[in-house]
Amino acid sequence: MIREGIYIVTPDFLMVTLAVAIRIVLTALIVMLLAWYILQIRPIPYVKAFLISSAAHLLAKAADVLLHWPLEIVAAIPGLVLLVLTFLLFDASVKRVLAVWFVGFGIYLVIHALLSVLFDVTFLFAF
């Protein structure tokens, strides 16, 4: 254990931090690819993708840790934030934004299913 002010940094804390960072990067990559392919945005929007991804996952983590919201609500936050910010930042039609959201959610499910099967990690699914 490492003492940092009033907080104690444990291995669990470090693993959760790493997991959130990996989720942010993977989500940003998915957003970049879908914005490039479905929304036809050139050049690839690196900054906007990382902004959307960071906001989605950090708001969900804050709702969980700081506000203690139920897992069913917390699990929906990244998808809803992704949907809204994609619409606002990319200025695309509702039809294309929904296509990005559905394809992105499908990729998310495939990645999590693979992780669940390969590494026996079942906490990734909220329900």
The pLDDT profile of the chain, 127 residues, written as one tens digit per residue, is 455 555 666 677 788 888 888 889 989 999 999 999 999 998 989 999 999 999 999 999 899 888 999 988 988 899 999 999 999 999 889 999 999 999 998 998 888 788 778 877 665 555 4
Helix (H) or strand (E) holding 2: strand 2-4
**Nearest residue to 56 via CA among 19, 76, 82, 20:** 82
Write the CB contacts of 54 (distance below 8 Å, at least 6 apart in sequence).
24, 28
Neighbours of 7 (CB within 10 A): 9
For the whole model, what pTM was predicted? 0.80
Measured CA to CA, the distance from residue 7 to residue 114 in angstroms comes to 34
